[in-house]
């Protein structure tokens, strides 16, 4: 198996649906999950690159492992639950600090999952908000009576760029990098992962081109002649 060319990491509080999002994308299903212990990864071939996608544990007891998983990451997907405002706050308070070990130009996506539950509430309230289909659509959905608004996630995205001292003009816009998804229905899940893949592929390719070549030309390496003084006999 080829070594991965790049790495994407999912971070976020326990129960927000990180494992479910990955399983929906990679296995096209929504199975029962158990709370993740440590971390696990999938490999995805995208264009000519082999990308590893890391699922991490949101439970407090595994928090220390987060920065290890983020080491050298090309992108971090910060995940929250649109029905739990605290899970968005946790991204800033608890998880952003773990990304210090990621690449300098690491890309950030912010994902509000379980939007199907919020859409249920919207419909109950008489406000039709569109079917939660598995099809990719705009990552910006209309306002509903959910606990966390997409605007809150976009404000966090802009804050992250400032905190990381990344130039807003050089990074993808908040509207493109903040998603609302449902691992349950598949809503926007392909759009999320494939947007991130498309953005990281040129970054990884450029990084590889800039790296010094790892290939050593053995034929051109002359063996130094041994001098008499170096000889131990
Ligand atoms: N309704 C609904 N439930 C979801 C969705 N995504 C996940 N869930 C449920 O939420 C619970 C937690 O999902 P996980 O994917 O295990 O959450 P996690 O973020 O991986 O949690 P940790 O591994 O503990 O960090 C499970 O019962 C899922 O079935 C979703 O989009 N909609
Ligand atoms: Mg999990």
Q: How confident is the model at residue 207 (pLDDT cuts 50, 70, 90)?
A: confident
Number of domains observed in the structure of the chain: 1
Cα 112 to ligand 1 centroid, rounded to whole Å = 12
**What average pLDDT score do residues 153-178 get?**
94
Pocket lining: 141 vs ligand 1, CB cutoff 6 Å: no
188 occurs within a structural domain: yes
Identify the pLDDT of residue 119.
78
CATH number of the domain at 53, please: 3.40.50.300
Identify the pLDDT of residue 132.
40
Q: Are 187 and 115 in contact (CB under 8 A)?
A: yes
| Residue 96: DSSP 8-state | G
pTM equals 0.84
**What average pLDDT score do residues 213-223 get?**
58
Using one digit for the tens of pLDDT, what is the confidence trace for 119-141? 765 444 433 433 444 444 444 44
C-alpha 183 chain-centroid distance: 15
Q: Which H or E element spans position 21?
A: helix 18-27
Atom of ligand 1 nearest to the CA of 185: 31
- Radius of gyration of the CA atoms of the chain, in A: 22
231 occurs within a structural domain: no
State the chain's mean pLDDT as an integer. Answer: 85
Ligand nearest to the CA of 113: 1
Instruction: Determine what percent of the chain is predicted with pLDDT higher than 90.
Output: 64
Cα 101 to ligand 1 centroid, rounded to whole Å = 26
Instruction: Determine what percent of the chain is predicted with pLDDT higher than 70.
Output: 79
**What average pLDDT score do residues 98-113 get?**
95
Region of residue 113 (phi > 0: left; psi between -120 and 50: alpha; otherwise: beta): beta
Cα 48 to ligand 2 centroid, rounded to whole Å = 28
Here the tokens at position 150 are 């997409």
Domain hosting 185: range is: 6-119+146-210
205 occurs within a structural domain: yes
How many C-beta neighbours within 10 Å does residue 191 have?
16
Pocket lining: 14 vs ligand 1, CB cutoff 6 Å: yes
Pocket lining: 59 vs ligand 1, CB cutoff 6 Å: yes
Identify the pLDDT of residue 146.
75
């Amino acid at each position: 198996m080829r070594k991965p060319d790049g790495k994407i990491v999912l971070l976020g509080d326990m129960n927000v649906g990180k494992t479910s999002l990955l399983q929906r994308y990679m296995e096209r299903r929504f199975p029962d999950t158990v709370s993740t212990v440590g971390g696990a990864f999938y490999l995805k071939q995208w264009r000519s690159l082999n990308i590893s996608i890391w699922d991490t544990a949101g439970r407090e007891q595994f928090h220390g492992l987060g920065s290890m998983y983020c080491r050298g990451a090309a992108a971090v997907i910060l995940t929250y639950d649109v029905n739990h405002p605290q899970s968005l706050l946790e991204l800033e308070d608890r998880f952003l600090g773990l990304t210090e070990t990621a690449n300098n130009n690491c890309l950030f996506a912010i994902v509000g999952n379980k939007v199907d539950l919020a859409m249920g509430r919207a419909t109950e309230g008489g406000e039709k908000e569109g079917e939660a289909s598995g099809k990719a659509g705009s990552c910006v959905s209309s306002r509903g009576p959910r606990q966390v608004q997409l605007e809150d996630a976009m404000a966090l995205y802009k804050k992250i760029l400032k905190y990381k001292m990344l130039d807003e003009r050089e990074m993808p816009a908040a509207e493109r990098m903040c998603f609302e998804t449902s691992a349950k229905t598949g809503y926007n899940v392909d759009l999320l992962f494939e947007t991130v893949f498309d953005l990281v592929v040129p970054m990884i390719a450029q990084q590889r081109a800039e790296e010094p070549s790892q290939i050593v030309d053995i034929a051109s390496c002359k063996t130094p002649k041994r001098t008499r003084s170096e000889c131990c006999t």
